[in-house]
Amino acid sequence: MKRISVLPVLIMLSGLVLFTSCKKDKAKNTTMYTISATMTGAQESPAVVTNGTGTVTGTYDASTNTLTYNVTWSNLSGNATIAHFHGPAAAGTNASVVVPFTFAAGATSASGTATLTDAQETDFLNGLWYANVHTAAHGGGEIRGQVTAMLQ
């Protein structure tokens, strides 16, 4: 009579359980967020005196790590030269660029999408990203706004 060993089957099942329990649980992250920010010169670090203002709107899909954004600005001292999201940084502190915006010369808006890493997602959802718009007169940034993400 042929004996079947249970040990190899138990080892395979244990490995399968261990493997599946270590995967990132995206099912619990299937939430959509609405993002927003209001940009002013007072929020720049250091603060800038300007009539410029701007807004950030969009969504963040945590199940796919996809950020979709729309950024608008007006009344700047001149045309926007560059604009982007920075992080991680609390309000009043500066950080490196994490997502640059693409826009045409003379434009007053930018929109796009970006896929965030897990570390970027953590910083973003904890309010540690800001958007800012630079001009020739204010190379460090003319307007800035801290981005918030609210569950939909």
Low-confidence ranges of the chain (pLDDT < 70): 1-30
For 93-127, write each residue's pLDDT tens digit.
Answer: 999 999 999 999 999 999 999 999 999 999 999 99
What is the predicted pLDDT for the residue at 5? 58
What is the predicted pLDDT for the residue at 30? 66
Domain with 51 in it: what CATH number?
2.60.40
What pTM value is reported for the model?
0.80
Q: Which of 61, 48, 53, 18 is nearest to 37 (CA)?
A: 53
Give the span between the Cα atoms of 108 and 101, in whole angstroms: 12
Residue 130's domain comprises 26-151
| 92 Cβ contact partners less than 8 Å away, ≥ 6 residues apart | 45
**Which 3 state secondary structure label does DSSP give 15?**
helix
Assigned domain for 1 exists: no
Sign (positive or negative) of CA dihedral 64, 132, 39, 77: negative
Assigned domain for 19 exists: no
Assigned domain for 14 exists: no
Assigned domain for 6 exists: no
Assigned domain for 2 exists: no
- Count of alpha carbons within 13 Å of 71, Cβ hemisphere only? 30
Residue 148 burial (CB count, 10 A) = 16
- Indicate the number of domains in the chain: 1
Assigned domain for 88 exists: yes
Assigned domain for 109 exists: yes
Cα dihedral: 82, 90, 119, 28 (round 10): -110
Assigned domain for 33 exists: yes
